Structure 1
Amino acid sequence: MSGERLVLASKSAARRAMLEGAGVPFSVQVADVDEDAVKAVHDPADAAGLAVELARVKALAVSRHDPEAWVLGADQTLAFAGGLVSKAPSMAAARDRLGLMRGRTHQLHSGAALACNGQVVWSGVDTATLRMRDFSDAFLDAYLAAEGEALLGSVGSYRLEGMGSQLFEAVEGDYFTVLGMPLWPVLAELRRAGVLTT
């Protein structure tokens, strides 16, 4: 591997697992940013743009403290019924949200940004469209009981890599995008930056 260092500015276990699985050497420094403040000044109709902006803000926040490293920021937004969906604050809210999304389609936008020396040098976004099946209330209750409060850490109250896969009848788009990062473009940029061997 090269001498370039990569720092992941995200606390997401799924993003860490993606990079580890791809054999990318990195360390983690969670970005301390006010996501609500970023969302407050962003057009709520532009969910894809918000995912990129959040990724950029996270990458910049960590890059300013560690300017010699390459810093990867990432974030994901969920667009449903013409609006943005945030993480559910409680299991009851997660149940209500999944009930509303049942039998309908939503989009996940996964943004990423790479920063170095306190400047963003690349950013991008990818979108996946997911259609939930018309599952029963009994299945929903069993799903929530099995997955527990870990679901509150996911914007859609599901993990496709877990039992959440049973919520869906179709997914259009890249699997890694659904998990929370556009991995293929990120790997290409890491090669360009010299973090990975070409």
Structure 2
Amino acid sequence: MTASLWRAPAPLLLASASPTRRALLEAAGLPVETRSPGIDERALEAERPGDGPQDLARRLATAKALAVAAASPDRVVVGADQVLDLDGEVFHKPADLRGARDHLARLQGRTHALHAAVAVAVGGRLADAFVETARLAMRPLDGAAIDTYLAVAGARVLGSVGAYQLEGPGIHLFARIEGDHTTILGLPLLPLLARLRARDLLAF
């Protein structure tokens, strides 16, 4: 019989369809099931336009966790969200390659923040929520460099806020990165594992 790090009777329920977040949890040895929360993120954002980027990320992660936990109150549920913050302005995923080019043209030569929020629901209620931040300095890039990057990276950039993925060609865009890699990927693992451990959900 294989030993398990996870102590709850059912697998961790991830309120996200993100394959990256699921892969991070599985690589850490946790059994994971996923369920899409089915919430309208832009409508939630519009409800409180005065929220700062970190507050917005926390509120969206919480809404995701609680939406899934309402249907599965007996499960441990994790919701996550990530917000790109350029001097207080929130960026969303680009709608098309033209939008991606515009985002990169605005981010180039500047430092932006990625706020990754996580919410944990236990017994159908919010048990914890936190935000971790990474800062990324993008190299100065002219239009030709941006076009070359988009030609290489292709349509996959549309699946990521900021139009880049550091685990792919997007790494070439940056001069300096400050922050944990899992925070940049959208699920800060060390603080999440610490919180699960504090609730006696991990074997050690």
TM-score by length of 2: 0.92
The aligned counterpart of 2:145 is: 139
The aligned counterpart of 2:128 is: 122
SS in 1 for 2:21: helix
Distance in 2 between the 1:75 and 1:34 partners? 13
CA RMSD of aligned residues (A): 1.4
Q: Quick check: 1:58–1:73 contact (8 Å CA) kept in 2?
A: yes
1:88 to 89, 94, 97: 94
Give matches, 1:61-100, under 5 Å: 61-100=67-106
Alignment partner of 1:55 is 2:61: yes
Q: Quick check: 2:53–2:88 contact (8 Å CA) kept in 1?
A: no
Give matches, 1:173-188, under 5 Å: 173-188=179-194
Identity of aligned residues (%): 43
SS in 1 for 2:78: strand
Structure 1 pair 45/80, CA: closer, same or farther in 2 (3 Å)? farther
SS in 2 for 1:129: strand
Runs of 4+ in 1 over 4 A off after TM superposition: none
Q: Quick check: 1:52–1:125 contact (8 Å CA) kept in 2?
A: yes
The aligned counterpart of 2:26 is: 20
* Paired residue type of 2:9: E
Distance in 1 between the 2:78 and 2:9 partners? 13
Query: Could you tell me how far 1:193 is from its partner in structure 2?
Result: 2.9
Between 1:28-37 and 1:141-150, the stretch displaced more is 141-150
Alignment partner of 1:194 is 2:188: no
Distance in 2 between the 1:49 and 1:3 partners? 30
Q: Quick check: 1:45–1:84 contact (8 Å CA) kept in 2?
A: no
The aligned counterpart of 1:32 is: 38
TM-score by length of 1: 0.95
Distance in 2 between the 1:190 and 1:34 partners? 28
Structure 1 pair 80/93, CA: closer, same or farther in 2 (3 Å)? same
2:159 to 153, 171, 182: 153
* Paired residue type of 1:170: R
Distance in 1 between the 2:74 and 2:135 partners? 37
Query: Could you tell me how far 1:47 is from its partner in structure 2?
Result: 0.3
The aligned counterpart of 1:4 is: 9
Between 1:166-175 and 1:142-151, the stretch displaced more is 142-151
Distance in 1 between the 2:116 and 2:132 partners? 5
SS in 1 for 2:43: helix
Deviations for 1:103-159, whole angstroms, at most 9, x for unmatched residues? 011110000000022210011000111110012433322211222211111111100
